[in-house]
Amino acid sequence: MKKLLCLAVSLMLLCSATALAESLFTPGTYESVKKGFGGDVKVTVTVSDTEITDIAIEGESETPALGGVAVETLGPAILKAQTPNVDGLSGATVTSTAIIAAATEALTKAGADIAALDANRKDASEEAAKEEKTIDTEIVIVGAGGAGMAAAIMANQAGKDFVILEKMPYVGGNTTKATGGMNAAETHYQKEQGIEDSVELFAADTMKGGHDLNDPELVRTLAEQSAGAIDWLDSIGADLPKISFSGGASTNRIHAPADGSAVGNYLVDKFSAKLKELGVEVMLNTKATELIMEDGKIAGVKAEGPDAYYTINAKAVILATGGFGANEDMYTQYRPDLKGTVTTNAPGATGDGIVMAQAVGADLVDIEQIQLHPTVEQTTSMLITESVRGDGAILVNQSGHRFTNELLTRDAVSAAELAQEGQYAYIIFDQHLRDNLKAIEKYVKNGLTVQADTLEELARKLNIYPYFLTMTMNAWNEAVATQNDAAYGRTTGMNDNLTTPPYYAIQIAPGIHHTMGGVKIDTSAEVIDTNGNPIPGLFAAGEVTGGVHGGNRLGGNAVADIVIFGRIAAESAIEYVGK
């Protein structure tokens, strides 16, 4: 009897031990908060003894086109994998890291051994074989950045059958990185605000800024169609009424959202909303891999998605794949001196469209022309919008002195910075400027700014001799009062002085911002081959192309480029398929 009792007790203990061994969590709901890109990210997990049963992620402050996508997609990924250590979202590294860290902390509170979860992850099996699928349509738009989405809206409004592909898990591309605004001349906003401008002056500024390497016909088209593009943006609810100066412009020309927020995310949100309203679905996570040619004409594209390989038959293709500023291997082929330079580009800017176009005979133009932006925060690669300088900020070096006209062209200001001690500078502004430019709030939230109630205190925080910074600021404010910058000849962005405390500084240096070169196009956005002839059925718009910007792009011209030539490419493709 005693033996039977002992055996029973042993079995009970063994079963209990086995149950404990199989238990991964203490059932319940746990949460953790970490700092994301735009603000706090909160992760709440619910677990049983053996499974993550639910996960909720809150991140209202994150940018919808980037961090917001991470908020939406990482929860399902963690739930599927049953571990917090999933792949982050390219382009939303800070938010992804915050989500993964918060999920890890919450699960640790639940008693989880994260290493054990990783060892037993549920998505580690071999990828299932992908299907082969065929789609027949009229037009394929490759890339859902600003140019691609503008083209898609136009194609839909014309009643055409089309598909739009995007290799990233979100729309926007490099457009999400645009901060300043859109250059346009003779717009109704300029006329309403008493600003004199002309198509001729816009074109002349663009040619001069590009060192006359630009294609004059493309530049003329850009300038002539800019006002109409502003009207079109108005028609889809994407108005840009705030006008200010930008480097290289002769007058107030750069159009921005009314509250001064970054133009890129604003337009991506507006374009996305319009596509949703029109019922247009973007094929995300779907990368075009090859252009199909038949009888010397475009016949479609091949692409790869998460679950299938696609052959998409179409009469016309619009390439809107962006540039190659995020592909160091590619840009160092043309500019070896830029190796190791930080980039402001979105991770999808890898030059795919240029490579595909070359494979079918497309010519390239200005491919070695790569622009540095002078105001990039180096630890985050975050671009400090040109509107900060356009609204009155100045640049000083480590000695506290100005060293250039801050609103010269980007290449000139970048070169001036690189000539300073340490090859960096500080951008200095005040509370009044901050109050009138919403884009600055992002820099403050992300801890990029140094703030002080007096110039002397700001100087000490920057390790600058206070006397020199104070003298520099006094001289600048006098220049604004007299409208005479005797030191460096600045004549723009001088409407307001810098006298309202607190004062702010951001340390900046140049970073790769725009690849001016790419596929050669004509004024109808037709892609031109190496023999100087259009490739039938192939069109391109935006940073994938070359010729518009020459040797240096003016701030505000990239947004003009994507909107104007995105629309032109759509109009040309629509006409082509209708023949």
Rounded-to-integer distance, Cα 545 and Cα 539, Å: 10
Question: Alpha helix locations (H) across 301-351?
Answer: 328-334
CB count within 10 Å of CB 90 equals 16
Contact assessment for residue 51 and residue 31, using Cβ atoms and an 8 Å cutoff: no
Residue 98 contacts by C-beta under 8 Å, 6 or more apart in sequence? 34, 35, 36, 37, 41
3-state SS, residue 197 = coil
AA letter at 248: G
Q: How many helices and strands, by DSSP H and E, does the chain display?
A: 19, 25
Does the annotation mark 410 as catalytic? yes
Q: Kindly tell me the sign of the dihedral angle through the C-alpha atoms of 496, 497, 502, 507.
A: positive
Characterize 181-214 residue by residue with b for buried, 16 or more Cβ atoms within 10 angstroms of its Cβ, and e for exposed: bbbbbbbebbeeeeeebebebbbebbbbbbeebb
Q: Select from 292, 298, 269, 285 the least CA-distant residue to 165.
A: 285
AA letter at 508: I
Rounded-to-integer distance, Cα 301 and Cα 294, Å: 11
CB count within 10 Å of CB 123 equals 11
Q: Select from 395, 396, 397, 398 the least CA-distant residue to 407.
A: 395
**Residues 253, 389, 402, 410: which is the catalytic one?**
410
Rounded-to-integer distance, Cα 169 and Cα 286, Å: 8
Backbone angle region of 548, left / alpha / beta, with phi > 0 → left and psi within -120 to 50 → alpha: alpha
Q: Hey, which residues are catalytic here?
A: 410
